[in-house]
C-alpha cells in the first residue's frame, strides 16, 4: 500500500511539474540591427570587423551563415518579417505605407501579437517597425509596453562631410566628433532593455524586441571605436572597376536616384575610407550594446529560459557594384546575420542552408510551442536548429519592387528583373559576384531550377506606396521611378 501511494504521489508531482513547464514558456529576446551587412566576425565578411559579443552569441547558439532578407529596404523587410508574408504578397515595397493602412492587412496578426495571445508580455524599444503606429491606442495594439524610440541620438552641429549629390540628404553623413556613447540612441535603448530584463515578472514570459539604429547612416561613433580600425586602404572592400559592365541596365533602376552617394563621388571626395571606417566603428559600438544585454541576461539567471534571436533587416553596399546604400539584389545587401540561441537550439553550431528573415515567425512559434499558424509563408528553421545538416526544401528569396527577385541557393544566386533580364552567379567560385553567367547556355538548367522559385503572387504597390517605388510596364518597356518615367537612353544619375 505504501509503495502504491508513493507511486501515485510521484506521478502527481511529475504531472504538476510538466503542467508548470507547459504554462511557463521561454522568454524571447528579439534583437534587430538596422542596415547591418555580413561584416560580422563570425560571418567573416570583413577582416577588420570586430564583433566579439555577436560572435559569443553565435557560439552559444546556431549561426545561419546563408541567411537573407526578403526585401533590401527597411519598411518592406520589417513588414515581411513581422507579418510572415513576402513583399510580393503584400505590395509593401517602399518606405510607405504603414501596413495597417492597407485594408487587406488591417487585422493581420503580427509576430508579437501572436505571442501576446499566448500569454506573453510584449515590449519594444528602438526600431522594430520602420515607422509604425502613432497614438497610444494604436501602439497598445502592437505591443504592451513601448520604450524609447532610439535613433541616432546626439549629432554634430553641422554635417561632417559636406554636401552630397542627389539632394544633400542630412542622413548622408559619417565620421567622429566629440560626444559620449551614453548620449547615443542605441546606448539608451540597450539600457532600457536591461532594465526590463532586471524587472521582468517571474510568473509571465516576455517577448522583448530591441531595435538598434546603427550602423544606419548617419554613421557617427566616438573615437575609441575608430582607434582599432586601420586608417589605410586595407579596410576598403574589394571592387572591380568595370563590375557593372555585364549587369543588365535595368539593375540601375532599382537604385536610380537615391541620397546614398555613388562610389565615384566617394573616391573623388576622399570619403570612401572614412565611410568604411565609420561603418565598422558603428558596427563595433552596436556589438558592445548587444554585449551589455547578454550580460544582463546572464546576471538575471535567465539564460537557460530565454530564446535570443538576432537579425538585421538588410545589408549595405560600401562601394561594391559602384554604389553605397541598399536597394539591390546582390549578396552584400541580401546577406544578413541571423542567430538563434537558447533552449532547444544547438550550441556552437552553424549551417549553410539558405534561410530567410521570413522564417523567424514560424521558427519562434515552434521553439516556444505556440499554436501553429497556417497563413505564414516562411519555413520553420527548427530542423536546422536541431541538425545543421538538415535539408531545406527551397532557397532564400529577396524581392525589391514588383517583378524583381533574387533566388539564393547554397551555391548560386539568380536574379530576375521585371523586364526579364537576368543575372546568375556561382558564389562558390565567384564570392564577389563579378561574373554574370546568365548568358552561359551550359547553365540553363541551373537557371531553370532557380527560376521556378520566383514568387507566383506578385502584387502591385499597395495603396499609399511612396519612396523608392519602381514600377515597370512590359508592353511599353517603360520604367517609372518615384513617379518619373525612365527612358533607356537616360544617363545614370551620379
| Contact yes or no for 393/409 (Cβ under 8 A) | no
Contacts of 178 (CB under 8 A, 6+ apart): none
- The helix/strand/coil state of 444 is helix
- The helix/strand/coil state of 150 is coil
Q: What is the pLDDT of residue 490?
A: 95
Please give the DSSP secondary-structure letter assigned to residue 465.
Answer: -
Q: What is the pLDDT of residue 171?
A: 97
State the catalytic residue, choosing from 114, 130, 405, 416: 130
Please give the DSSP secondary-structure letter assigned to residue 11.
Answer: H
Convert the pLDDT of each residue in 29-55 to its tens digit: 999 999 999 999 999 999 999 999 999
Q: Tell me: pLDDT of 63 over 70.
A: yes
Beta-carbon count within 10 A of 347 CB: 11
- The helix/strand/coil state of 472 is strand
Confidence of residue 16 (pLDDT cuts 50, 70, 90): very low
Q: Tell me: pLDDT of 449 over 90.
A: yes
For this structure, is 74 an active site residue?
Answer: yes
Q: How far is CA 285 from the centre of its chain?
A: 18
* Residue 255: cis peptide before it, omega within 30 degrees of 0: no
Q: Tell me: pLDDT of 113 over 60.
A: yes
- In the chain, what are the domain boundaries? 24-399
Going by DSSP bridges, is the β-strand pair 422-426/470-473 parallel, antiparallel, or unpaired? unpaired
Convert the pLDDT of each residue in 122-178 to its tens digit: 999 999 999 878 778 889 999 999 999 999 999 999 999 999 999 999 999 999 999
Q: What is the pLDDT of residue 7?
A: 36
Q: Tell me: pLDDT of 10 over 90.
A: no
Confidence of residue 23 (pLDDT cuts 50, 70, 90): low
Convert the pLDDT of each residue in 185-203 to its tens digit: 999 999 999 999 999 999 9
CA distance 434 to 347: 35
Q: What is the pLDDT of residue 135?
A: 79
Q: What is the pLDDT of residue 134?
A: 76
0.75 exceeded by pTM: yes
Q: Tell me: pLDDT of 208 over 50.
A: yes
User: What's the number of CA atoms in the CB half-sphere (13 Å) around residue 319?
Assistant: 22
State the catalytic residue, choosing from 69, 74, 125, 219: 74
Q: What is the pLDDT of residue 8?
A: 39
For this structure, is 130 an active site residue?
Answer: yes
Distances (CA, A) of 129 to 33, 82, 94, 368: 12, 8, 13, 22
Is the CATH code 3.40.720.10 the one for domain 24-399?
yes
pLDDT, average across residues 78-103: 97
Q: Tell me: pLDDT of 488 over 90.
A: yes
Contacts of 120 (CB under 8 A, 6+ apart): 25, 28, 112, 204, 205, 206, 207
Q: What is the pLDDT of residue 21?
A: 42
Average pLDDT in the chain = 94
pLDDT, average across residues 248-276: 98
Cross-strand pairs, 80: none
Convert the pLDDT of each residue in 212-252 to its tens digit: 999 999 999 999 999 999 999 999 999 999 999 999 999 99
Q: Tell which residue, 159, 202, 163, has the closest CA to residue 27.
A: 202
| Contact yes or no for 411/395 (Cβ under 8 A) | no
| Contact yes or no for 244/492 (Cβ under 8 A) | no
Going by DSSP bridges, is the β-strand pair 27-33/306-312 parallel, antiparallel, or unpaired? parallel
Amino acid at each position: 500500500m505504501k509503495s502504491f501511494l508513493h507511486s501515485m504521489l510521484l506521478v502527481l508531482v511529475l504531472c504538476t511539474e510538466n503542467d508548470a513547464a507547459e504554462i511557463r514558456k521561454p522568454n524571447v529576446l528579439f534583437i534587430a540591427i538596422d542596415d547591418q551587412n555580413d561584416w560580422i566576425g563570425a560571418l567573416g565578411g570583413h577582416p577588420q570587423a570586430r564583433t566579439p559579443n555577436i560572435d559569443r552569441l553565435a557560439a552559444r547558439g546556431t549561426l545561419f551563415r546563408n541567411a537573407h532578407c526578403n526585401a533590401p529596404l527597411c519598411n518592406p523587410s520589417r513588414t515581411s518579417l513581422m507579418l510572415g508574408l513576402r513583399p510580393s504578397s503584400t505590395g509593401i515595397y517602399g518606405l510607405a505605407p504603414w501596413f495597417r493602412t492597407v485594408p487587406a492587412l488591417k487585422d493581420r496578426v503580427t509576430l508579437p501579437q501572436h505571442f501576446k495571445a499566448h500569454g506573453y508580455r510584449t515590449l519594444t524599444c528602438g526600431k522594430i517597425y520602420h515607422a509604425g503606429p502613432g497614438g497610444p491606442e494604436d501602439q497598445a495594439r502592437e505591443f504592451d509596453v513601448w520604450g524609447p524610440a532610439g535613433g541616432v541620438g546626439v549629432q554634430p552641429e553641422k554635417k561632417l562631410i559636406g554636401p552630397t549629390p542627389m539632394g544633400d540628404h542630412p542622413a548622408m553623413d559619417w565620421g567622429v566628433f566629440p560626444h559620449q556613447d551614453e548620449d547615443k540612441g542605441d546606448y539608451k535603448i540597450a539600457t532600457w532593455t536591461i532594465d526590463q530584463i532586471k524587472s521582468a515578472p517571474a510568473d509571465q514570459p516576455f517577448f522583448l524586441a530591441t531595435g538598434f539604429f546603427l550602423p544606419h547612416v548617419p554613421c557617427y561613433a566616438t573615437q575609441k571605436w575608430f582607434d582599432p580600425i586601420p586608417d589605410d586602404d586595407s579596410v576598403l572592400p574589394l571592387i572591380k572597376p568595370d563590375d557593372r559592365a555585364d549587369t543588365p541596365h535595368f539593375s540601375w533602376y532599382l537604385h536610380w536616384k537615391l541620397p546614398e552617394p555613388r562610389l565615384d563621388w566617394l573616391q573623388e571626395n576622399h570619403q570612401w575610407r572614412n565611410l568604411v571606417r565609420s561603418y565598422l566603428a558603428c558596427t563595433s559600438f552596436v556589438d558592445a550594446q548587444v554585449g551589455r544585454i547578454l550580460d544582463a541576461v546572464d546576471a538575471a539567471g535567465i539564460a537557460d529560459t530565454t530564446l535570443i534571436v538576432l537579425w538585421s533587416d538588410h545589408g549595405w553596399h560600401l562601394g561594391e557594384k559602384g554604389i553605397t546604400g541598399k536597394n539591390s539584389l546582390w549578396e552584400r545587401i541580401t546577406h544578413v546575420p541571423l542567430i538563434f540561441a537558447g533552449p532547444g537550439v544547438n550550441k556552437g553550431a552553424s549551417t549553410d542552408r539558405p534561410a530567410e528573415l521570413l522564417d523567424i515567425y514560424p521558427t519562434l512559434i515552434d521553439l516556444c510551442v505556440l499554436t501553429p499558424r497556417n497563413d505564414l509563408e516562411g519555413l520553420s528553421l527548427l530542423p536546422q536548429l536541431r541538425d545543421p545538416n538538415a535539408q531545406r526544401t527551397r532557397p532564400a528569396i529577396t524581392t525589391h519592387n514588383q517583378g524583381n527577385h533574387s533566388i539564393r541557393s547554397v551555391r548560386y544566386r539568380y536574379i530576375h528583373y521585371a523586364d526579364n533580364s537576368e543575372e546568375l552567379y556561382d558564389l562558390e567560385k565567384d564570392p564577389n559576384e563579378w561574373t554574370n553567367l546568365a548568358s552561359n547556355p551550359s547553365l540553363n538548367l541551373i537557371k531553370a531550377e532557380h527560376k521556378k522559385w520566383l514568387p507566383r503572387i506578385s502584387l502591385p504597390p499597395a495603396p499609399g506606396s511612396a519612396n523608392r517605388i519602381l514600377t515597370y510596364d512590359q508592353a511599353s518597356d517603360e520604367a517609372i521611378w518615384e513617379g518619373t518615367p525612365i527612358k533607356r537612353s537616360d544617363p545614370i544619375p551620379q
